[in-house]
Structure 1
């Protein structure tokens, strides 16, 4: 039975975090001795500069570790004096983490020995036959130790990130630089998203509506030149049907440009209309106590619309689930299908969605292992 994608992600995150804690516990010993002897060396003015330089190098190692294994980003413009101040509590936290890891390993080894004794019919510690309550007490006590070990490691990881944020967090200058960079990127994403939308509209009009109107004009021309009234009547009937198809194509293009239901009724009715027009059964769940801003509703709708379109075209799915809900100060929309999987965020349609979401300062993810299912998620801030 294959392991679900969400479970695999959690396992990878757990293993990555444990490795990050183990590395942090190792570097804590070096940091402890550096703080001990470096603090003494600071009493000599000539040694202060190299001591602060070394502290900055050690803090940079910790910054990269936290970024790689925990996704915690901090600034690189902190001073050596601030780095030295950071290493003092950091080495204490790291040594505490090392102690918890060592106790966890010893507990795991002891657990293996106890389980081996119980399976051989001996009580924990050996020397006597096992009673029925030995299994119960061992299980309960082991579960309690596992819980305490996990909570201890989670607490160390949390404290480690908070210390780095407190001492190595971005300065006001760095925050301003990052914000300018984000705004420049968002502006580029907006321009690219608008250009993609314009090209798509031009393509839909050229390949759909324009071809219908050309065919309509040809039918009307043939009807005008027809000498046989019955033949002319048949051509007019075909022209009328072609005009209906052109009208439907034009209505479809207008829906993809901007559905009027978003303005008049809101996101829920617009998504219901999207589900009704889909060629694959769509199950919709919307939990939004309050209407988001119009810009957010528009992005949510187009994420759902494009994801459904891609699923119908490429995924060979039999079911699509759309969920839109409030998540704190954000709106989360998740589109799941049971198709063949293998979708990539860098693909044509999905890359356009990623740019559209990024332009709204949102987060866009695609989880689509081979064989499915495919989960497209967008989180958009409401504040």
Structure 2
């Protein structure tokens, strides 16, 4: 039975984190002796600068380790004195991690020996024959020790990361700079998204409604010029049908610009109307105990609408699932289809959605392996 992709990703992340913690446990010994002897050397003024410089080198090793194995991106701009102070609690956490690894190795060795003795009919520790409850007791204690060992590793990793964030985390100025940069990028994305919408509306009007109206005008002109009453009646009938089609196209364009159901009824009825108008069967699930803000509803609707449109045009799908729910982060909308896959987040429609979601400080994710399924997810923060 194949292992699910989510499980494989979790196992890889756990193994990578364990390796990073083990490396940190080994570097803790060097840091302990450096703090011990370096602290004594600080009493000599001439040695202070080299000691602080060495502390910066060791701290940089730790910062890069956390970034590589845990994905923590901390600032590279920090004072050398701060690096020396960081090494004091850091070596304690590292030695604690080393102690946990040693206990795991000893426990593993003891478990192998006890298991061997039980299979040979001996009680744990050897000697007397095993009682009936010895395997059960050994299994329960073994499970308890494994649980405690895993909790110890998780706790040590959490302490390691929090300690680094405390000393290497971005300063207030760095946070402000990042926020200004994010706002500038968001503003540019909003402008680009608006321009993209304007171009799409113009294209829909030019290729749809305008062509219908031109055809209507030609039919009416022919009806005026003809001298045959029967022919004129037939042309007027065609003109009437063409006017109905033009009205339908105009309704479609106005719905794509902004569905009035969003204002009057909310997100759920708007998504239901989207599902009814789709040429591919759409299965809708909405779990929103409270109505989100209007700006969030608008983004969620257009993400679903554009994803459904792309699926109908390009995916050759037979089913579309739309899920909108509220979680601890905000409002999450997920659109899944069983089409051919291969959709690119950098494509015209999806890149426009990514800009629209980014403008609302949200996250936009596209997973579309060849052969499908395609999953488009948007997570929008909602207070």
For normalisation by structure 1, the TM-score amounts to 0.89
| Aligned equivalent of 1:378 | 378
Query: 1-side partners of 2:21 and 2:205: how far apart?
Result: 57
Query: 2-side partners of 1:208 and 1:125: how far apart?
Result: 86
| Aligned equivalent of 1:228 | 228
Gap runs ≥5 in structure 2: none
- Equivalence map 1:32-47=2 (5 Å): 32-47=32-47
Measured after TM superposition, the shift of residue 110 of structure 1 is: 5.4
| Aligned equivalent of 2:67 | 67
Query: 2-side partners of 1:231 and 1:261: how far apart?
Result: 42
Which of the pair has more CA radius of gyration? 2
- Equivalence map 1:95-106=2 (5 Å): 95-106=95-106
Measured after TM superposition, the shift of residue 317 of structure 1 is: 2.7
Measured after TM superposition, the shift of residue 223 of structure 1 is: 2.8
Measured after TM superposition, the shift of residue 299 of structure 1 is: 1.0
Q: 1:75 to 1:304 in 2, by over 3 A?
A: same
Query: 1-side partners of 2:118 and 2:217: how far apart?
Result: 88
Are the counterparts in 2 of residues 282 and 320 from structure 1 also a CA contact under 8 Å? yes
Query: 2-side partners of 1:348 and 1:102: how far apart?
Result: 55
Query: 1-side partners of 2:271 and 2:71: how far apart?
Result: 34
Q: 1:211 to 1:13 in 2, by over 3 A?
A: farther
- Equivalence map 1:249-328=2 (5 Å): 249-328=249-328
| Aligned equivalent of 1:48 | 48
Measured after TM superposition, the shift of residue 142 of structure 1 is: 3.4
Measured after TM superposition, the shift of residue 297 of structure 1 is: 1.2
- Equivalence map 1:103-252=2 (5 Å): 103-108=103-108, 136-252=136-252
Are the counterparts in 2 of residues 342 and 368 from structure 1 also a CA contact under 8 Å? yes
| Aligned equivalent of 1:330 | 330
CA RMSD of the aligned region, Å? 2.6
Q: 1:108 to 1:241 in 2, by over 3 A?
A: farther
Are the counterparts in 2 of residues 5 and 369 from structure 1 also a CA contact under 8 Å? no
Measured after TM superposition, the shift of residue 359 of structure 1 is: 0.9
Q: 1:121 to 1:172 in 2, by over 3 A?
A: same
Q: 1:371 to 1:214 in 2, by over 3 A?
A: same
SS, match of residue 254 in structure 1: helix
Query: 1-side partners of 2:129 and 2:86: how far apart?
Result: 54
Are the counterparts in 2 of residues 55 and 83 from structure 1 also a CA contact under 8 Å? yes
Q: 1:279 to 1:102 in 2, by over 3 A?
A: farther
SS, match of residue 72 in structure 1: coil
After TM superposition, the structure 1 stretch with the greater mean CA deviation from structure 2, 20-29 or 171-180, is 20-29
Query: 1-side partners of 2:382 and 2:144: how far apart?
Result: 41
Q: 1:205 to 1:160 in 2, by over 3 A?
A: same
Measured after TM superposition, the shift of residue 358 of structure 1 is: 0.9
Query: 1-side partners of 2:71 and 2:167: how far apart?
Result: 17
Measured after TM superposition, the shift of residue 90 of structure 1 is: 1.0
Query: 2-side partners of 1:342 and 1:114: how far apart?
Result: 53
Q: How many residues align?
A: 383
Measured after TM superposition, the shift of residue 93 of structure 1 is: 1.0
Q: 1:135 to 1:257 in 2, by over 3 A?
A: farther
For normalisation by structure 2, the TM-score amounts to 0.89
Q: 1:146 to 1:224 in 2, by over 3 A?
A: farther
Per-residue CA deviation, residues 64-88 of structure 1 (Å, 9 max, x unaligned), is 3223332323222221111111111
| Aligned equivalent of 2:79 | 79
Query: 1-side partners of 2:115 and 2:370: how far apart?
Result: 39
